[in-house]
């Protein structure tokens, strides 16, 4: 997958993406990161990329020309893939980024990520250049760069071959819309802090049932908002009902 990042701060990339799972994916060429400085597309000698807001008010706005032309430069290198590549503006006003959005973006052969700054990006970029807008949560970051790093990491996990063990993505928290069950490793007894017996039993059916119940209970206690959209069996619903949860009917 080719990921193009357009930013005023290219020195922030690859940053944390250079290590661990994403670092290996970059080295193997499963992910290719192309970083462009938006400033290189400024029209004036001083490479100014921001200006005062029409209508007044505090804060600066990112000028449209450098952003639009940086996107055009990125698309020009994409060839066949250009028409299939989402042009994503990272902004707190975007649609909420979720595991599902990450999976969806991972199906594209290429992505173009625009990192917004200042009080925002000229509205014409949003309307006529971006094809998608994403926010990573309900708080304000100084710029879209940290959000882009988050999106790239979460998307990379869904690119075939990036996770060594293809099962990991399927058992992650949020797979099936539930939180992950508790995990333990050796030693079985650390200072008298014991690993649950069932996990030492070797009974794989019992272990699978226990884990499913733990996922359901943990989601019920911590994130009940996830349950109405989770993939639940009749057995899951029965278990949740026993623990006091009932789906909200119309």
Q: Is 41 exposed, middle or buried (0-12, 13-18, 19+ CB in 10 A)?
A: buried
Angle formed by the axes of helices 204-222 and 234-242, to 10°?
Answer: 60
Give the separation between CA 236 and CA 226, rounded to whole angstroms.
14
Distance CA 216, CA 219 (A): 5
137 binds ligand 6GU (CB under 6 A): yes
List the interface residues with ligand 6GU, window 22-41 (CB under 6 A). none
Select the span of 31-39, 72-80, 129-137, 231-239 touching ligand 6GU (CB under 6 A): 129-137
User: By CB under 6 A, which span of 57-65, 133-141, 170-178, 233-241 interacts with ligand 6GU?
Assistant: 133-141
CB closer to ligand 6GU out of 102 and 144: 144
Judge whether 92 counts as a catalytic residue.
Answer: yes
The distance of closest approach from Cβ of residue 33 to ligand 6GU in the complex, given in angstroms and rounded to an integer, is: 18
- Backbone torsions φ then ψ of 135, nearest 5 degrees: -120, 145
94 vs 177, which CB is nearer to ligand 6GU? 94
> Is 50 an annotated catalytic residue?
no
Task: Write out the two tokens for 64.
Answer: 């449209």
Contact flag: residue 141 with ligand 6GU (CB under 6 A):
yes
How far apart CA 105 and CA 97 sit, in angstroms, is 10
Residue 7 found at the interface with ligand 6GU (CB under 6 A): no
* Residues with catalytic function: 92, 119, 157, 172
């Amino acid at each position: 997958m080719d990921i193009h990042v357009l930013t005023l701060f290219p020195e922030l990339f690859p940053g944390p993406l250079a290590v661990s799972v994403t670092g290996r994916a970059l080295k193997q060429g499963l992910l290719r990161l192309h970083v462009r400085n938006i400033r290189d597309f400024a029209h004036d000698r001083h490479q100014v990329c921001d200006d005062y807001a029409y209508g007044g008010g505090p804060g600066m706005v990112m000028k449209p020309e450098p952003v639009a032309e940086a996107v055009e430069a990125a698309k020009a290198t994409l060839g066949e893939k250009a028409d299939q590549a989402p042009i994503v503006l990272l902004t707190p006003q975007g649609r909420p980024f979720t595991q599902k959005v990450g999976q969806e973006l991972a199906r594209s052969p290429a992505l173009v990520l625009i990192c917004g700054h200042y009080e925002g990006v000229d509205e014409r970029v949003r309307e006529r250049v971006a094809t998608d807008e994403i926010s990573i949560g309900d708080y304000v970051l100084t710029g879209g760069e940290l959000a882009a790093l988050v999106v790239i990491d979460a998307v990379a996990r869904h690119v075939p071959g990036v996770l060594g063990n293809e099962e990991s993505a399927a058992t992650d928290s949020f797979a099936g819309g539930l939180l992950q069950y508790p995990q333990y490793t050796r030693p079985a007894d650390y200072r008298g802090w014991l690993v649950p017996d069932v996990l030492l039993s070797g009974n794989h059916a019992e272990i699978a049932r226990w884990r499913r119940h733990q996922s359901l209970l943990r989601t019920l206690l911590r994130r009940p908002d996830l349950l109405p959209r989770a993939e639940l069996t009749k057995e899951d619903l029965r278990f949740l009902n026993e623990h006091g949860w009932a789906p909200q009917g119309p």
